[in-house]
Amino acid sequence: MSALEELKKYEEYIYRCIHCKTCRMAYTDDPEKIYPENCPAGKKFEWEAFYNSGKMWILKAILEGELDWNERVAEIFYLCPTCGNCQQQCENDIPTVEIIEAVRAVCVEKGLGPLPRQKMFGELTAKYRNPYGEPHEKRLDWLPSDIRNSLPEKADVYYFVGCTASYRIQNVALATVSVLRKLGINFTISPDEWCCNSPLLRTGQLSLAKEYMQHNIDVIEKTGASVVITSCAGCYRTLKVDFPRFVGKYDFEVKHSVEFIYDLIQEGKLDPSKFKKINLVATYHDPCHYGRHIVLRMEDRKKKEEFFEVPRKIIEYLGIELREMRRIKADSWCCGAGGGVKAGAPDFALETAMERIKEALETGAQALLSACPFCYRNLTDAIKAMNAKLEFYDLIELLDKAIQ
Amino acid sequence: MPVDPKIIEALESIVGPEYVTTDEVILASYVSKGIMGLEAQRADIVVRPKYVEEVRRILMLANEHKIPVTPVAGGLSGGYACPTVKPGGILLDLSRMNRILEVDTDARYVVVEPGVRCGQIWRFFRDNYPEWAPPIPDGAPPAATVLGDALERGFSLVTSKYGPQADLVLGLEVVLPTGDILRTGSWALPGAKPFYRWGLGPDFTGLFLGSQGTLGVVTKMAIKIVPHPEHKDIVALAFEDPETMQKVTLRILKKEVGVMVQGGNWWLVPTRMDHESKLPHDYEFWKKRGVPKYFMNFEIWGITKEHLELEKKIIDEEVKAAKSKGEVVDYWKLHPRQVASRLKKPNKIAIPYAKWRGAFLFITWYLPWKGLAEFMKICEQKMEEYGFAPVIWVASIEHGRECIGMPIVCFNNRDPDDIQRVIEFNRETTEIFLDKGWINYRPDAKIHAPAMYSRAQGYYYWLKKIKQLFDPNGIMHPGRLCL
Ligand SMILES: Cc1cc2nc3c(=O)[nH]c(=O)nc-3n(C[C@H](O)[C@H](O)[C@H](O)COP(=O)(O)OP(=O)(O)OC[C@H]3O[C@@H](n4cnc5c(N)ncnc54)[C@H](O)[C@@H]3O)c2cc1C
Ligand code: SF4
Ligand code: SF4
């Protein structure tokens, strides 16, 4: 099926848009928490076209033959971190993220996309199996050689490290391994893991998707693991949501590392009262891919609430004083890095992250916490750019400190 | 239509180049059809001023070159803030003018610019003046603006007590196409506060309320705020037929109970839940789930708990009295979540009607309360005749002095036949309702305005005269009023 035919499948939804503009706000349930601005693309570029509501009406014009596909259409659809706030807010159940991604695939098909730097990471991924263009054989270089050499072929748990933690934010990967070892988890990692394809899927570059996904499934299944842990919210979303979409069912359960620890506690296998308490006043940033993008696919209201409580419970177990920002959980303000924006429009990504840092600072917290190495990169870039007095930790780093 | 580069340059020099565009993709993104009307055209150029002086200079330029201007505040009126006819001309996007300029909790008003959205002002009041509520529309999404809604004479969260939004307006600042700035109400006196609507002699304010942007650009509005007590509840009554609903509700309303009293028929429930193919269409199914055939929700606010209880007691006495007369009325016991959802302001309640068939149209009428049952019956019958789910919403205005009634026509906007049926339904019911002396609120250009003004030609004649006076070159868009 061509990308255009795939997009046409969404026609019914595109036409459902009543142009109510609710999708620019942060307002899931509680009017007391309403926040008038929660669309990073619209906030940055201001014109109606950049908000999701405008995007839907651009598509209507195209479908009705009143507007042609062109580079400007592509640009507008690419300058968006696909944070999913619009989909979260839309009461007409318009799958906006899927639509934006389907439009990007059409743009690729028509030679109008992706943005130049995104194209580059597509090429790098094809060549090196990761979008950073790092040598594939160095994927496990971050891991001390004694551990690397002792990784079993078969294990109960597979740790899917992801490209960002493998090549850039390695402290997250190291902390994860350290925690797993301290807990005596029978886990393994493969040097032959490939990019999960998230950056390519998000930018409409679909040609590698099936091959890469199937490869990763094969690698994981070879280990016999029944549980896969991810550090990266993007990998988490892709394995959980996109793998089944592109290559069908697989035979393991996918958990975020934070979720994995939380489940151990719930199952009585880990006693949080034994955690070394962390003396910190902190706030927590919900990554879009380990947040909204997942709950959007849940029917049960209670399950959604529980999902957002997982990192918060962990923070409580760690003895940290949590000071919430205004836009949290399903209404979270995006870090700005997703959807290919960090590579394609780095200034926009940074500006979006800076707004998050400002919000974090308003809480009076000394640290900002999150659970994604990609958010980590962008948010710490913003902290540096602003010279802000704010520490940053991935939850797994703090768990590593707390678990003896 | 291509815009003269000299005009673009002139506009850029007024607001800055980053706030002027002729980009066809952006122009397409502003189009909106549905909710209130089916016609909208693409503008030729969008300009986004921030200051009154910029608005003034834009209008003077447009006036000089006879370029049409359409003002848009929130743009939530389903295309009423889009040009109706070609050339589309300038779309004056006022969203950057989004300051809340003054709050006076003694004289009890707030002064807003056109771009102040309901979500923004609600947030602002919760943070700074939690004891006061700004008059945001009751069911409009949070991106609607206070000013746009009041210009439309909409219904607010307290309309059942205080009247339509227009009744809360104390004064306006309007930039006329000639560049003159007109202030209305007590604001007209230099240095005076906007505390008194009726100002310096005959009142100009009303001329602009309902004018759909056809006479000038409103750049500031002073509008009343109301006490926002902590104690709130919903009392919902269930009825078997609209006649009893009309009678019993009016008796309660005459005791001046409730800030927002609204209801309708059971069809309001399924049509916002999912696609028509996925849900049962027969009432028996919904009855088993506790949905009454007809219902009226009384949103009541109490300054104290006792006050709230007193309001409930008044309702209860009327319910008992009705029952003793043999009238069929009962309480609809709502789940706490249903109560909370009805109390939410601003809310998203009216958005999902697009799920049923893909799109919807609110066709809204004002009528005396005593016409409610007849209105509902006609709508139900005609909607079924035309193949639409008979979804009808009604509400009380100022304690039932008037009723606002609204068939929600859920239709398929990808099917030309369905669209044609909407038009025919609208045309036929318009004639019926006008015959009865009922009035369309937010008239549209193809059906309501021609039908209404052909019956009230004298009024239309004077409206035209006023339009000529304020807008001698006819640059302000004709709205849906054909002005
Ligand atoms: C789902 C839904 C539910 C709704 N529920 C309600 C409700 O409960 N109550 C209610 O009252 N309405 C309701 N509405 C209608 C809608 O919210 C209002 O019509 C709208 O809010 C008007 O405000 P706006 O800023 O969006 O106006 P716009 O769409 O921007 O403009 C409305 C009209 O005023 C003109 N105009 C705008 N700004 C100016 C200006 N500064 N000077 C001169 N003319 C101007 C425009 O040209 C247009 O004709 C609902 C709409 C939707 C989509
Ligand atoms: S996408 Fe949904 S929330 Fe956004 S404008 Fe359209 S209908 Fe409203
Ligand atoms: S995905 Fe996020 S940034 Fe993109 S249009 Fe939706 S809300 Fe805006």
State the average pLDDT over residues B303-329.
98
Cα–Cα distance measured from residue B10 to residue B6, given in angstroms and rounded to the nearest whole number: 6
What pairs with residue A35 in β-bridges?
A26
d(Cα B161, Cα B282) in Å, to the nearest integer?
35
Q: Which of A15, A32, A49 sits opposite B414 (nearest CB)?
A: A15
Q: Which atom of ligand 1 is nearest to the CA of B73?
A: 30
Q: How far is the CA of B445 from the centre of ligand 1 (A)?
A: 16
* Residues of chain A contacting residue B355, judged by C-beta atoms under 8 Å apart: 16, 92-93
What's the CA-to-centroid distance between B356 and ligand 2, angstroms? 15
Q: Element (H or E) spanning B274, and its range?
A: none
Query: Computed over its alpha carbons, how large is the radius of gyration of chain B?
Result: 23
Q: Is the pLDDT at B281 greater than 90, yes or no?
A: yes
Tokens of A246: 């592109």
Residue-level pLDDT at B296: 98
Question: What is the SS3 assignment for B261?
Answer: strand
Torsion angle defined by CA atoms of residues B370, B371, B372 and B373, in that order, rounded to the nearest 10 degrees: 100
What is the C-alpha to C-alpha distance for residues B264 and B272, in angstroms, rounded to an integer? Answer: 14
Taken as a whole, chain B contains a residue count of: 483
How many CB atoms are located within 10 Å of the residue B105 CB? Answer: 12
Q: Is the dihedral of CA A99, A103, A108, A114 positive or negative?
A: negative
Q: Which residues pair with A329 in a beta bridge?
A: none
Confidence at residue B415, expressed as pLDDT on a 0 to 100 scale: 96
Share of chain B above pLDDT 90, in %: 94
Express each pLDDT in B141-159 by its tens digit: 999 999 999 999 999 999 9
A153-207, pLDDT tens digit by residue? 999 999 999 999 999 999 999 999 999 999 999 999 999 999 999 999 999 999 9
> Would you call B348 and A91 a contact, using CB atoms and an 8 Å cutoff?
yes
Q: pTM to 2 decimals?
A: 0.97
pLDDT value of residue A35: 84
d(CA A168, CA A13): 39
Closest in A19, A31, A93 to B345, CB measured: A31
Fold adopted by B5-93 = 3.30.43
CA-nearest residue, atom 8 of ligand 2: A20
Query: Residue B115 above 90 pLDDT?
Result: yes
Q: Is A89 in the pocket of ligand 2 (CB under 6 A)?
A: yes
Res A32 pLDDT > 90: no
Q: Which CATH number fits domain B231-440: 3.40.462.10, 3.40.50.740, 3.40.50.620, 3.40.640.10?
A: 3.40.462.10
Which atom of ligand 3 is the closest one to the Cα of A40? Answer: 3
Interface test with B, best of A13, A17, A27, A302 (most B CBs within 10 A): A27
Q: Is the peptide bond before B87 cis (omega within 30 degrees of 0)?
A: yes
Domain ranges (residues) in chain B: 5-93, 100-227, 231-440
Q: At what angle do helices A257-266 and A395-402 cross, to 10 degrees?
A: 40
Taking a C-beta distance cutoff of 8 angstroms, is the pair B363, B409 a contact?
yes
pLDDT confidence bin for B37, thresholds 50/70/90 = confident
Q: How many residues does chain A have?
A: 404
Q: Which residues pair with B239 in a beta bridge?
A: B294, B329
pLDDT at A42 over 90: yes
Q: Which residues of A touch B96 (CB under 8 A)?
A: 46
**Is B205 within 8 Å of chain A by CB?**
no
**Mutation to probe ligand 1, out of B47, B50, B58, B76 (largest number of atoms < 8 A from CB):** B76
- For residue range B186-208, list pLDDT tens digits in order: 999 999 999 999 999 999 999 99
Query: pLDDT tens, B339-389?
Result: 998 998 898 999 999 999 999 999 999 999 999 999 999 999 999 999 999
Q: How far is the CA of A91 from the centre of ligand 2 (A)?
A: 7
Query: Over the stretch A239-267, which tens digit does the pLDDT of each residue have?
Result: 999 999 999 999 999 999 999 999 999 99
CA–CA distance, B264 with A148 (Å, rounded to integer): 68
Domain with CATH 1.10.1060 in chain A: 3-109
Contact B21 A67 (CB under 8 A): no
Residues in A whose CB is inside 8 Å of some CB of B read 11-12, 15-22, 24-25, 27, 31-32, 34-36, 46-49, 53-55, 57-58, 60-61, 66-67, 70, 72-73, 76, 89-93
CATH 3.40.50.1860 correct for A272-402: yes
Element (H, E) at B61: helix B52-65
**Does residue B339 have its Cβ closer than 6 Å to ligand 1?**
no
Closest by Cα among B287, B255, B252, B257 to B270: B287
Identity of the residue numbered B338? Q
Phi-psi region of B79 (alpha: psi -120 to 50; beta: other; left: phi over 0): left
CA distance B42 to chain A (A): 10
Q: For residues A240 and A237, give the distance between their C-alpha atoms in angstroms, rounded to a whole number.
A: 5
In the structure, what pLDDT confidence band is assigned to residue B36 with cuts at 50, 70 and 90?
confident
For chain B, how far is it from start to end, CA to CA, in angstroms? Answer: 22
Q: Do A15 and B123 touch (CB under 8 A)?
A: no
For all residues of chain B together, what is the average pLDDT? 96
Rounded-to-integer distance, Cα B118 and Cα B106, Å: 22
Q: Report ipTM (2 d.p.).
A: 0.96
Residues A126-264, CATH architecture: 3-Layer(aba) Sandwich (3.40)
φ/ψ (deg, to 5) at B237:
-110, 145
3.40.50.720, 3.40.50.150, 3.30.465.10, 3.40.50.1860: which CATH number matches B100-227? 3.30.465.10
Nearest to A58 by CA among B61, B142, B30: B30
CATH fold of A3-109: Fumarate Reductase Iron-sulfur Protein; Chain B, domain 2 (1.10.1060)
| Pick from A11, A6, A41: nearest CA to A23 | A41
| B119 has a chain A CB within 8 A of its CB | yes
Sign of the C-alpha dihedral computed for residues B90, B91, B95 and B101 taken in this order = positive
Interface mutation vs chain B, best among A12, A21, A86, most B CBs within 10 Å: A21
- Residue B411: the pLDDT is 97
Q: What is the pLDDT of residues B203-232, one digit of tens each?
A: 999 999 999 999 999 999 999 999 999 999
Residue A28 pLDDT more than 90? no
Q: What is the pLDDT of residue A288?
A: 98
User: Please, which pLDDT band fits residue B78 given cuts at 50, 70 and 90?
Assistant: confident
| Per-residue pLDDT at A27 | 87
Half-sphere exposure of B279 (CA within 13 A, CB side): 19
| DSSP codes of every residue in A13-72 | HHHT-----GGGSB-SS-GGG-BS---HHHHHH-SGGGSHHHHHHHHHHHHTTSS---HH
Using the mean position of ligand 3's atoms as its centre, give its distance from the Cα of residue A339 in Å. Answer: 10
State yes or no: pLDDT of A137 exceeds 80: yes
Residue B29 corresponds to which amino acid? S
Residue-wise pLDDT tens digits, B54-75:
999 999 999 999 999 999 999 9
**Chain B: residue nearest A52 by CA?**
B29
Q: What are phi and psi of A158, to 5 degrees?
A: -110, 130
Question: Nearest Cβ partner of B141 from A15, A20, A93?
Answer: A20
- Does A60 sit in the ligand 2 pocket, CB within 6 Å? no
Cβ-proximal residues to A182 (8 Å cutoff; 6+ apart), any chain: A400, A403, A404
Give the strand pairing for A227-230 and A253-256: parallel
pLDDT of residue A222: 97
β pairing state of B90-93 and B169-175 = unpaired
Domain limits, CATH 3.40.50.1860, in chain A: 126-264, 272-402
- Please name the residue ranges forming H helices in B271-390: 283-288, 305-324, 336-343, 354-357, 372-385
Per-residue pLDDT of A301-355, as tens digits, reads 999 999 999 999 999 999 999 999 999 999 999 999 999 999 999 999 999 999 9
How many A from CA of B432 to the centre of ligand 3? 45
Using a 6 Å cutoff on CB, does residue A57 contact ligand 2?
no
Residues A124 and A131: beta-carbon distance below 8 Å? yes
Query: Which has more confidence, A138 or A32?
Result: A138
How much is the pLDDT for B39? 86
Q: Report CA Rg, chain A.
A: 20
